[in-house]
Structure 1
C-alpha cells in the first residue's frame, strides 16, 4: 500500500458496494474488488455507496438511486444503459466510453495465462488419453442444440458425461461453485481427447470459460455458442460448429480427426490465440484502464444514465414492476400463513 511519511495511505477513498450477484458472492473477495484495491482505499458501504457494481441475478440495484451504477454480467444479457452508467459484458457493443467487452472467463487470470504457454503434445500424450470425449453440464435449461449434439455424436462413439445433466458416469467432478469444482472438472477433461464445449445459448460475443477449459486441459474443443469466436481465438485450434451446415457434418469432422493422430496433434499444438498473443480486449490492463477511467472521476461527474424525462419514468416503472410483485407475493404468503394458524384443525377419529 502506498503511504505518506506519516503512515497514512495516499490512495483515494472510494465507497463501493456489490449487489445482485450469484449466491455465495463475497464483496470482500472477488476479482473486481482486488483489482480496484490496487489503486484505491475501498470502503464497503451497503447503504449509500458512491459506486455500485451490480449483476443480473436480482433487481436490488434499483434501490440505489443516487449511486453511480456499473453493470457486470456473466450471462448472455445485453446491458440496459437506461439503468446503468457503465457496463461490462460479452456482446460486441459500441457505446462510447460506457461499455467494455470483457468476457467472464478473462477474469480467471491464472487460467487465461495458461493459454499462451508453449505446446508440445506428442503421440504418447495422445495415446494416453483414457476417454474419447466429455460432456460436463449441470444446467438442463440450455439451448436444445447442446443435447442434440450429444445425441448425434453419441451415435459415433460413447461420450463420458459425469455432470448432473445427462449423467452416464459415476466419476465425481464436483458440484458447481464448490471450492474445487472447476479443478476437478479440468482434471477429468485432461483425460479426454475431445471436449463438447457448448454454451447454454448462442449469441455474437457470448464466449464463457468452456472453450478455455478445453484448451488448458489439453483436449480438442468442439465449440458452439459465439458464432464470432474466431475474433478472439485461433480458428485452427478448435472445431467450430458454426463453420458447418449441420451437426452431422461436425461429427464427420470429429471422426476424421479421431482417426488421424497427425491431424489431432496438429490441432492440439496450435496456440489458442492467433500468433499466441492475448487479444487486447482480454488483457487485464484493458479492464483496469476502463475501471480507472470511471473511478478517477468524481462520482457525480461520472454519471451517464439519463435521470430525467421518459428515462426517469422507465426506471420508476422497472422498480414498481419488480418490487410490487415481490411485495404482493410476500403479502399473499403472510395471508396464507395467517389463515393456516387461525383455521381450527379437524380432529380425525
Structure 2
C-alpha cells in the first residue's frame, strides 16, 4: 500500500497547475520535512562489494540518508556498512550495524546482518523491499538520462502520430546471453517484424550502443517498443529494464516478475507472459503497433501511479534504516 503521506502529497501535486518536478523530487528523496531538521547526527557509512561502476561518495543511499544524518563515507570502521554481492570484502568490515543490499536475483540474508534491502517480497521486520528500478531512477538523474528522479512518476506525454511513425519498431539491447526465453522471443518477433539488436548480443545493426544509461535511453527513444525482459523470472524480481524503456518513451515488452502488476500499471506495458502463447503475444504487439490509438493509450498511461505498491518514496527507506540503527 502507498504511504498516506506520499498519497496525499502526490494527489495535491498532480492537481497543481505549472507543477515543479523538483518539489516532488525533494519530497520523494528527503521526506515530508524536506531534510529541514536541526543538528543532524553524524553517520559514517562504508560500502562493500558493489558493482565496479558504483560511486561510494555519490549514490542513492548517500542521497536519502543525508536528509537525516551528517553522512561521511569511509573505507571501514563505520557506523553502517552497506554490503552487496559482488565480492567478499564485507568479511573485513568493522562496523556497528550492517545492511545487505541486492538488486540481483539473490535471496537476501535475514540472519548475520542487522537489516536487508532487496526486491524480494518478504514479510519480516528486518527486510525492506526496494525494487532495483527505484535506485536506477536516481542513477538516471545523476547521469542526465532523465531530468528528474520523479520523471517516471509524472503522467507521460504521448507522441503525436507523426512522431510515432518516425520511430523505428523495436529495440533489443543486451549483453548477457544466458536467457533463452528472451533470445527466443527476439527471434520470433523479428521474424514477423524486424527488431534491431543494438547491443553486443545478437547484434544486427553493425554498431553497438555505448555503456551507460544516457546512451541507452537516447537509443531507445528512437523506437516505439523496447525489450524489457529480465534475466530470470522470480516473484518481485523487477529491475531497471522496464524503467529504461519508460524513460525513453518506448512501450516495454516485459517478461519476468509474475507479480509485475503490483508495481507497474496495466496498460502501460505489454507483458508477454499474460498471453497463452508467444504467437498470441506477438499478434497483440503488432496489433498495437498498427493502431496509433492503441499505441497512444499505452504511452498515455502513468506506469507507477494507481498501482498496489509504490516504491519511489525513497524517504521511507531512510526512515526505516534510521529506526534500525
Q: 1:126 to 1:45 in 2, by over 3 A?
A: closer
- Stretches of structure 2 that go unaligned for 5 or more consecutive residues are 1-37
The answer on 1:121 being equivalent to 2:149 is: no
8 Å CA contact 1:18, 1:54 repeated in 2: yes
Query: How far apart are 1:289 and its partner, in Å?
Result: 1.6
Structure 1 runs of 4+ off > 4 angstroms? none
Query: How far apart are 1:11 and its partner, in Å?
Result: 2.3
In structure 2, the partner of 1:227 is: 258
Query: How far apart are 1:145 and its partner, in Å?
Result: 0.6
In structure 2, the partner of 1:325 is: none
8 Å CA contact 1:51, 1:70 repeated in 2: yes
Q: 1:61 aligns with which of 90, 95, 109?
A: 90
Query: How far apart are 1:16 and its partner, in Å?
Result: 2.2
Q: 1:29 aligns with which of 47, 52, 58?
A: 58
- Bigger Rg over Cα: 1
Query: How far apart are 1:55 and its partner, in Å?
Result: 0.4
TM-superposition CA deviations, 1:308-340 (whole Å, max 9, x none): xxxxxxxxxxxxxxxxxxxxxxxxxxxxxxxxx
The structure richer in helix per residue is 1
Task: Answer with 165-174 or 193-202: which moved more.
Answer: 165-174
The answer on 1:152 being equivalent to 2:188 is: yes
TM-superposition CA deviations, 1:61-108 (whole Å, max 9, x none): 223365421011121111011222101110111112x11111122122
8 Å CA contact 1:103, 1:282 repeated in 2: no
The answer on 1:292 being equivalent to 2:322 is: yes
Q: Kindly report which structure 2 residues correspond to 1:81-96, keeping only aligned pairs within 5 A, or say none.
A: 81-96=110-125
8 Å CA contact 2:115, 2:127 repeated in 1: yes
In structure 2, the partner of 1:50 is: 79
1: distance between equivalents of 2:78 and 2:95? 8
Structure of greater relative contact order (alpha carbons < 8 Å, 6+ residues apart): 2
In structure 2, the partner of 1:251 is: 282
8 Å CA contact 1:119, 1:271 repeated in 2: no
Q: TM-score, normalised by structure 2?
A: 0.80
2: distance between equivalents of 1:40 and 1:13? 6
2: distance between equivalents of 1:15 and 1:273? 33
In structure 2, the partner of 1:322 is: none
Q: 1:210 aligns with which of 236, 241, 244?
A: 241
TM-superposition CA deviations, 1:159-213 (whole Å, max 9, x none): 11110111111344212xxxxx211111111111111110111111111111111
8 Å CA contact 2:264, 2:304 repeated in 1: yes
Q: TM-score, normalised by structure 1?
A: 0.74
SS of aligned partner of 1:194: strand
2: distance between equivalents of 1:118 and 1:44? 37
Give me the CA root mean square deviation: 2.0
Query: How far apart are 1:279 and its partner, in Å?
Result: 4.5
Q: 1:161 to 1:244 in 2, by over 3 A?
A: same
SS of aligned partner of 2:311: helix
